[in-house]
Chains A and B, each alone.
Chain A
Amino acid sequence: MEGSDTYLIRPNHQNKFKPAIVKECIREIVRERLSGKRYEPEEVLELSRSLAECIKDRVKNAGFDKYKLVVQVVIGEQRGEGVKMSSRCFWDADTDNHAEDLFINESLFCLAVVFGSYYY
Chain B
Amino acid sequence: MDEYHTEETAFAVEDVSKIINESVEAAIGGHAYQHNRVNQWTSIVVEQCLSQLTKLGRPFKYIVTCIIMQKNGAGLQTASTCFWDNNSDGSCAVKWENKSMYCIVTVFGLAI
Q: Give the B-binding residues of A (Cβ under 8 A).
A: 39, 41, 44-45, 48-49, 51-53, 56, 60, 68-92, 96, 113, 115, 117, 120
Please indicate which of the listed interface residues A80, A83, A88 has the most CB atoms of chain B within 10 Å of its own CB: A88
- A49 and B81 contact, Cβ closer than 8 Å, known pairs A70-B63, A84-B42: yes
Interface residues in B93-111 by Cβ distance below 8 A to A read 106, 108, 110
Q: How far does the alpha carbon of A78 sit from the alpha carbon of B73 in the complex, in Å?
A: 10
Q: State the Cβ distance, A101 to closest chain B Cβ, in Å.
A: 15
CB of A81 within 8 A of CB of B77, answer no
CB of B69 within 8 A of CB of A81, answer yes
Q: How many residues of B contact A (CB 8 A)?
A: 44
Q: Give the A-binding residues of B (Cβ under 8 A).
A: 33, 35, 38-39, 41-43, 46-47, 49-50, 53-54, 61-85, 89, 91, 106, 108, 110, 112
CB of A77 within 8 A of CB of B76, answer yes
Please indicate which of the listed interface residues B33, B47, B76, B82 has the most CB atoms of chain A within 10 Å of its own CB: B76
Q: How far does the alpha carbon of A87 sit from the alpha carbon of B33 in the complex, in Å?
A: 19
**5 extra interchain contacts, Cβ-Cβ under 8 A, other than A49-B79, A74-B76, A89-B50?**
A69-B82, A71-B81, A85-B67, A89-B61, A96-B61
- A60 and B83 contact, Cβ closer than 8 Å, known pairs A44-B75, A78-B74, A96-B61: yes
How many cross-chain pairs have Cβ atoms below 8 Å apart between A and B?
A: 135
Neighbour of B33 across the interface among A41, A48, A69, A82, CB < 8 A:
A82
Neighbour of A91 across the interface among B49, B63, B81, B89, CB < 8 A:
B63
A residues in contact with B65, CB < 8 Å: 72, 85-87, 113
- A85 and B76 contact, Cβ closer than 8 Å, known pairs A56-B81, A68-B83, A71-B81: no
Q: How far does the alpha carbon of A39 sit from the alpha carbon of B47 in the complex, in Å?
A: 32
